[in-house]
Amino acid sequence: MKKLLIATLLAAALPFASSAASAAVIVVREAPPPPRHEHVPAARHGYVWTPGYWQWTGHRYSWHRGAYVRARPGQHWNAPAWHERDGRWAFERGGWRAGDRDRDGVPNRYDRDRDGDGVPNRHDDRPNNARRH
């Protein structure tokens, strides 16, 4: 009975896994047009500007305008981009990525001094507060 239940759950989840994997990468033979110059409105406090990009619609490219989105603490916006690989163009989706809390260039997951106070986290009583050891 247990094996039948597991097999049923796996069979039900399999179509969703394949559709998610196929939707993650878009590959096109035709190069995207050059990016458009956008007028960036005045900066808004607590928001991040996300630049526009060319999106492939299945038959042609369409321009998606840039916009301000609410900033997320501890994350940074990674803009969408097209990359050429073997004569084909692959689209890398943009989105929020784990940030660099202390802005030292080392991603948080590899950072051993998260608050940038010079004391490694294993010896720091307060690893997220640069003013206290």
Q: Give pLDDT tens digits for 105-116.
A: 667 666 777 676
pLDDT computed for residue 19 by the predictor: 41
Segment 53-68 shows an average pLDDT of 94
* pLDDT level of residue 21 (50, 70, 90 thresholds): very low
pLDDT computed for residue 36 by the predictor: 92
pLDDT computed for residue 130 by the predictor: 65
Q: What angle do CA 114, 93, 96 make, to 5 degrees?
A: 30
Residue with the bigger pLDDT between 31 and 126: it is 31
Instruction: Give all strands (DSSP E) within the chain, no chain letters.
Output: 26-28, 47-50, 53-56, 61-64, 67-70, 75-78, 81-85, 88-92, 95-98
User: CB 124: neighbour CB atoms within 10 A?
Assistant: 19
